Amino acid sequence: MTPEQRTWKIGELAAATGLSVRSLHHYDEIALLRPSSRSPSGHRLYAGADVRRLHRIVALRGFGLTLTEIGRLLDGEVPDPRGLIRRQLDQVETQLAAAIQLHDRLLEVLNALDATEAPSDRTLLNLIEGMTTMTRLTQHELDEMTARRTEFRDSLTPTELADLEASRRQALESMTESELEEMRQRRAAMMPR
Binding partner of residue 142 among a copy of itself, DNA, none, CB cut-off 5 to 8 Å per kind: none
CA 146 to chain centre: 14
Shortest distance in whole angstroms from residue 73 CB to DNA = 13
Residues numbered 66-95 forming contacts with a copy of itself, rule: CB under 8 A: 73-74, 76, 78, 81-82, 85-86, 88-89, 92-93, 95
Angle between helices 67-74 and 81-114 (to 10 degrees): 160
> Is 33 near a copy of itself (CB under 8 A)?
no
15-50 as b/e: b if 16+ CB within 10 A: eebebeeebbeebeeeebbebeeeeeeeebebbeeb
> Is 62 near a copy of itself (CB under 8 A)?
yes
Binding partner of residue 97 among DNA, a copy of itself, none, CB cut-off 5 to 8 Å per kind: a copy of itself
If DSSP codes are grouped into helix, strand and coil, which group holds residue 15?
Answer: helix
> Is 42 near a copy of itself (CB under 8 A)?
no
> Is 34 near a copy of itself (CB under 8 A)?
no
Euclidean distance between CA atoms 156 and 143, whole angstroms: 20
Residues contributing to the site for DNA (CB under 7 A): 7, 9-12, 14, 20-23, 25-26, 39-44, 61, 66-68, 138, 140
